[in-house]
Structures are given as C-alpha cells and as structure tokens.
Amino acid sequence: MAQRPFQTGAIINLSSGESSKDVVICTVPANKRFHVKFLGINGFGQPNQPLFYAVHVTTGSRLGIYPIAPPGVAEIAEAEFPARYFGSQEVMLYADPGSDLLFTVARKDTTGNIRVFIDLCGILADVGARRQTDH
C-alpha cells in the first residue's frame, strides 16, 4: 500500500449574528484513504465566548462527529479578535475514499466576529486493489 504524508486545512469566519458554520476541509481522493494523525486549531474571537469545534469524518460509510476541546485561551492586543483559542492534539481518524471531511464551529453568543483555522496532517494511503488471483 503506497502512502505519503498529507496536510490540509480550512478557515471558518463567523460574522456577528451567525451562530454556526460548517466548511469542507477537503475531499479525500476516490482511490485514497486519509489517516488523520494530528490536528491543530487557532481561533480568534471574543472574550468569554466559548466556541464548539467538531470534525466530521466518514469511516466505513458511517459519519462520525468528533468534538475537539483545545485547552488554550489567551487575550491578545487585537481590536476585532481580542481572544485567542488554540490547541493541538494527536488523533486517530480514518476518512473513506471520496468522502468530505467537515469542520464545524458553533457558539451561543453571536456578538462579534470569529475566525478559526484548522490544520490536519496524516497519511494519504492507497485503497487496496483487488488482487488478480481473487475471483
């Protein structure tokens, strides 16, 4: 099975008044499987406004939703985004060939703008082809 390192990412922007949004991080190539090994989140938003994050992955034709809880919070000197939410973690997720990896950001208080970056890295592996001797 051929394998190669793979990294991808996405950005979600929530404007004041928006409570949640999904974005397709990537579509796995039809002949590959994405073995996600590590993810990182850098969010920029409003103080005392908790954010919910989740990655949606289809494995074995079943959609799984995996919430993420980055531990870092810091105030920063930025007028539009005075709070930073950040963290990274090791994961073991497998995405089916041809499936979309989705990322969700949600919040209860919709005051102010939010910008969240997610990065995923892992291995893009060939899907095992049927051998010629199999009948």
> Mind giving me the DSSP string for 4-41?
EEEEEEEEEEE-TT--EEEEEEEE--TTEEEEEEEEEE
114-126/32-45 β-pairing: antiparallel
Quick check: 57 and 64 in contact, CB under 8 A? yes
Q: What is the pLDDT of residue 1?
A: 64
User: What is the C-alpha separation between 23 and 101, in angstroms, rounded?
Assistant: 9
Quick check: 72 and 87 in contact, CB under 8 A? yes
Q: What is the pLDDT of residue 135?
A: 40
Q: What is the pLDDT of residue 129?
A: 52
Quick check: 86 and 41 in contact, CB under 8 A? yes
Residues listed for the chain: 135
Q: What is the pLDDT of residue 54?
A: 97
Q: What is the pLDDT of residue 133?
A: 41
Give the residues of the chain that fall short of pLDDT 50: 130-135
Residue with tokens 């850098």: 42
Amino acid at position 76, single letter:
I
Q: What is the pLDDT of residue 130?
A: 47
